[in-house]
Amino acid sequence: MRLSTILPILLWLLGAACSGPEGKGVVAGELFIEGCDGLDHYGTSSFPAYFDLRANYVLGEPVQDESDFPVAHRLDVRLQRGSNSIEDADALYIQFSRVAVTAKRFAAHQLIPVAVGESVQATLSLYLTCPTFFDGPEAQPATENACPEVSAEEQERLCAGTVFGRLEVVPTPQAPFSRGHSCILLCRFGAARRGEPVSDSFEINYEDEVSGIYFFSLSDRRLVYDHLEICGDGLDNDGDGRVDEEDCTRVTSGGFVQGNFHFKAHRAKSVQVIP
């Protein structure tokens, strides 16, 4: 084969292998992180700082469960600045650990709670902004109800009126969410359809479209996972029957992020060596 024929083929293959994800998203809100970079703080609990991730890389990657039972197909979503690995970027990472559970809720016009122990969890990783802070923040509702009550008609109206990749107001929670919620209102979720049955083996496939509007209240990861007693909040966080005992921990990060996302799912592909 002549070089003039081989070169265009190689360029096409390289372009296909390196093509970026097709998606739009926004991650913004208010944060405080004590000791964000050594001794410096990123806002305070009394005066949280404005935050805008300026996401320009939105990727949804389906992960297929190969086991026979139970089937737990997954969807990993990243909204981040730059295309570096998640260990070297600022990113909002959302994991749908059982997409069939999420699809059934979507089909039933239910909003999706996001919290530790739920089928959807989310973490804000700030490896560039706060390289020395490793305790969060983690999406976790600060109220009894992770999601608001929203009618089917209102859900459709909100989805139709959303310009994905844009957020008009950052520091004020946008309807239908309010402070304390940690929730996603899905607008599209692959082949799932409103009012139609969803099988237990439902999966998100390559080129499926996923979109949604979200609001995440954020907490220290270590407080959420370790159930530590928090000083001065009037709650029995560690479940030992005592409230605000002397052995307690200060909250060192928190706030909220809100926004939206829309993307076509892409599978990770292994690199094939051409001899």
CA 155 to chain centre: 19
Average pLDDT over residues 67-85: 84
Closest C-alpha among 61, 32, 38, 259 to residue 136: 32
Q: CA 64, CA 268: separation in Å to the nearest integer?
A: 11
Sequence-distant (6+) residues with CB within 8 A of 142 are: 179, 180, 182, 217, 219
Is the pLDDT reported for residue 10 higher than 90? Answer: no
**Strand 90-96 relative to strand 23-37, pairing:** unpaired
Average pLDDT of the segment spanning 199-219? 95
Joined together, the tokens standing for residue 86 give 């998640």
pTM of the model: 0.84
Residue 193 CA, distance from chain mean position: 22
pLDDT recorded at residue 167: 94
pLDDT at 73 over 80: yes
3-class DSSP state of 23: strand
Residue of 235, 230, 242, 238 whose CA lies nearest to 45: 230
Q: What is the Cα gyration radius of the chain?
A: 21
pLDDT band at 85 (very low <50, low <70, confident <90, very high): confident
Report the distance separating Cα 115 and Cα 146, nearest Å. 8
DSSP 209-239: EEEEEEEEEEE-HHHHHHTPPBTTSSS-TTS
Q: Can you tell me which residue has the tokens 């479209």?
A: 209
CA 173 to chain centre: 17
What is the mean predicted confidence (pLDDT) over 26-30?
Answer: 97
pLDDT band at 158; cut points 50, 70, 90: very high
The residue ranking higher by pLDDT, 274 or 160, is: 160
Instruction: Assign 248 to helix, strand or coil.
Output: coil
Backbone phi, then psi, for 131, in 5-degree steps?
A: -65, -20
Contact, 36 vs 90, CB < 8 A? Answer: no
pLDDT band at residue 65 using 50, 70 and 90 as cut-offs: confident
Per-residue pLDDT at 129: 85
Task: Read off the pLDDT of residues 218-274 as tens digits, 9 standing for 90 and up.
Answer: 988 777 776 666 776 666 666 677 776 677 777 778 899 999 999 999 864 443 444
What is the bridge-based pairing of β-strands 40-42 and 23-37?
A: antiparallel
Identify the band that residue 64 occupies on the pLDDT scale cut at 50, 70 and 90: confident
Q: Which residue has the tokens 């969807």?
A: 75
| β-bridge mates for residue 58, sequence order | 79
Alpha-carbon distance 49 to 211, whole Å?
27
Task: Provide the pLDDT confidence category of residue 68 given band limits of 50, 70 and 90.
Answer: low
pLDDT of amino acid 237: 65
What are the beta bridge partners of residue 193? none
- Looking at every residue in the chain, the average pLDDT score rounds to 84
Q: Output 63 or 243, whichever has higher pLDDT.
A: 63
| 143-154 tens-digit pLDDT | 889 999 999 999
Average pLDDT of the residues in 169-190: 96
E-strand stretches of the chain: 23-37, 40-42, 49-52, 57-63, 74-80, 90-96, 112-113, 120-126, 138-139, 182-189, 209-219, 253-264
Q: How high is the pLDDT of residue 253?
A: 85
